[in-house]
Structure formats: C-alpha cells, structure tokens
Amino acid sequence: MIQITTPSRLHITLIDLNGSLGRVDGGVGLTLDEPSMKLTAEETNEGVFVTGRGDLERIKTTTEILIPEGRGIHITIEDAYPDHVGLGSGTQSALAAGWAVNVLFDLGLSVREVAAKVGRGGTSGIGVESFEHGGFIVDGGHRFADKGAFSPSAASRVPPGPVLFRHDFPDWPIVVAIPDLKGASSQREVDIFKQYCPLPLEEVQAVSHIILMEMLPSVVEGDMHAFGDAVNRIQDVGFKQREVGLQSEEVRRCMEIMREQGACGAGMSSFGPTVYAVAKEPGGVETAVAEYLDSTIGGRVFITRARNTGAKTVCDK
C-alpha cells in the first residue's frame, strides 16, 4: 500500500503570452501547505477502482494511462479540495495517482515523466514542481514552435517547462479565500487564451521587470512588503489583468478588503476565484474577508503558510 499527500499551489502569474522571442508561457507560483490532497493506493486484481472524495472519474482516467496491462489498483481519495478554483487540484490529483502507479508497479519514472504522460504542465510547470519540491517557483515556459499555440495546460501536450528558480519561501502567514464560485476551465479557458493572446510586448516586459527586480529579490531577502507590492502590481498588467477583469465583483472586492485590512499585497491565483494575501497581522484580514463572503456569496477563508517540500509518499510494499 502507498499513501501520498500532495500540497496545493498559488499560481501568481503567467509571464509571456506574446511569444515574439520564440517562447511562451513561463510562470511564477508558490506551494501551499494547506489545502492538501491525500490518497491511498494498493494493488488488486485486474482493473482500476477509485473511491472516496473529489473528481473520481478524472483520477481513474489518469490511472488507466499508466497502469501496466493486466494489473489492478484500488485508489481511495481520503481528502481533497475543490477543483477549478485556482489551487491546482487537477495537476495534484493526476500526479498523485500517476505517482502511486509508478511506485507500486516499479515503473522507474521521474515526476516530470509522469506529468508528461498524464498531460500536465503543458502551460505552467508550477504544479509539477510544487509536487516534486515545493517552495517558490519560476518556470521558463516552452518553445512556441513546440507548443504551436497559446493555450491552457489542459489543452497542451508539451512537457512541463524548465524550472529557472526555486527557493524556500519565508515563513509568512498567507490568507487564502475560496469564494463559492468556479474559475474558468475546459473550453471557456481555451477561448480566453484565443481572445486575449498574443498580449502586447510592453506588458510582458512590465511583468518580467516586476518579477526579476522586485518579487525574486523580496523572496531571497525576506521582504514581505516588497513581495506584497509586487503581487499588487501584477494584478494590473499582462494576462493576470485579463484574468482578474473576468471575475465577479465579489472576487475583486475580496482583494480590496485584504489590502484595506493591512495586507502587504493581495492577488488572485490562476483563473480564480481563489484570492490570497500576505500580511504581518493576518487575523483581521481573515475575519474581514470571511464576514464579507458570509454576507454575499459564501466561501472559505483560512490562514496557511508556504510548503517548502513536495508531496509526501509513505510506502509499505
């Protein structure tokens, strides 16, 4: 039997959806300690069986890609978090299931090889690196000639891009709010890429400047105010600006409340609706956002911290 506990991740921004230098995508993200996903798996007679919580059919389909012919497995999802809310559940569940098969049947694959086989990381490699190592991550995207289009990970069939920078994230409180909404997915996500890409080069340059000269140094130097300022700036430029602009008023208002309550910075993860903030005094931020969501659309608000290690695997073979 094998047990795997994955982290979740914040996707802070994509970097280059212009492509004029020959590469596209690239991303910045942060691994979270909570929420997490936990599954157990054991070898059985022939067939794939998935029980428990979460998107069971997706995990079954992923497992069937890797399992050797004539072998069987029973996967139980013991804990899960919502899909299509911007926390990367699709990648984490696919990798957890794929990794369980890899270990149980001694396939000898790396995490990145599993990701490629199950079709994850085709736009952003943040979730794959979060599963493997955790921490704060910058990935370098893909050659446009290999990918051939501006598209989300679910519609891409290239392997995860190279990790350019990975660093332990400071032990700062992170307030996470998950409104009772769903972010863009499937064809809607594909259509958004088609509508807005390629982005103007000057916006890609602005995002790159913020990341290179403010966000990365702030992580290395442990400067929460500079990190928060970089997060705030990113919401107003590039693809992130488009993602935020497509959200409901309630999602945007959550970020405003976070800043009003003293957060150093607040942003939206991926296509939302999850928003997050770093704050020296997180209690007031958490309370204010929770009260607002309770009075409007509902949702969950909690305080967590970064996770500087990847998924945890416990194997009893």
Q: Is 10 helix (H, G, I), strand (E, B) or coil?
A: strand
What confidence score (pLDDT) does residue 188 get? 87
Cα–Cα dist 226/178, whole Å = 25
Average pLDDT over residues 17-22: 97
Whole-model pTM over 0.85: yes
Q: How do residues 57-98 score in pLDDT, each as one tens digit?
A: 889 999 999 999 999 999 999 999 988 999 999 999 999 999
Report the DSSP pairing between strands 72-79 and 47-52.
Answer: parallel
Beta bridge partner(s), residue 160: none
Those residues with Cβ within 8 angstroms of residue 206's Cβ, 6 or more apart along the chain or in another chain: 237, 238
Residue 156: its pLDDT value, please? 81
Q: If residue 98 lies in a helix (H) or strand (E), which one and from where to where?
A: helix 89-104
Q: Is the pLDDT of residue 117 over 70?
A: yes
Q: Helix (H, G, I), strand (E, B), or coil: what is residue 81?
A: coil
φ, ψ at 214 (rounded to 5°): -130, -50
Handedness of CA 202, 130, 243, 289 (dihedral sign): negative
Average pLDDT over residues 125-148: 96
Question: Please, what is the average pLDDT of the chain?
Answer: 95
Strands (E), 72-223: 72-79, 136-139, 142-143, 163-167, 174-179
- Residue 317 is predicted with a pLDDT of 60
The predicted pLDDT at position 123 comes to 87
pLDDT tens by residue, 143-197? 999 999 998 877 788 999 999 999 999 999 999 999 999 877 778 888 999 999 9
Whether the per-residue pLDDT at 316 is higher than 90: the answer is no
Q: Is 70 left (phi over 0), alpha (psi -120 to 50) or beta?
A: left
DSSP state, residue 263: -
Mean pLDDT is lowest, of 25-34, 106-115, 118-127, for 118-127
Given a cut of 80, whether residue 221 has pLDDT beyond it is yes
Q: Which domains does the chain have, with CATH numbers?
A: 2-315 (3.30.230.120)
pLDDT-derived band at 251 (thresholds 50, 70, 90) equals: very high
Task: Say what the pLDDT of residue 187 is.
Answer: 83
At residue 179, the pLDDT reads: 97
46 has a pLDDT exceeding 80: yes
Residue found by looking up tokens 């995490």 in the block: 111
Residue 95's nearest CA partner among 123, 72, 68, 62 is: 62
| pLDDT over 80 at 35, yes or no | yes
Cβ atoms of 198 and 19 closer than 8 Å: yes
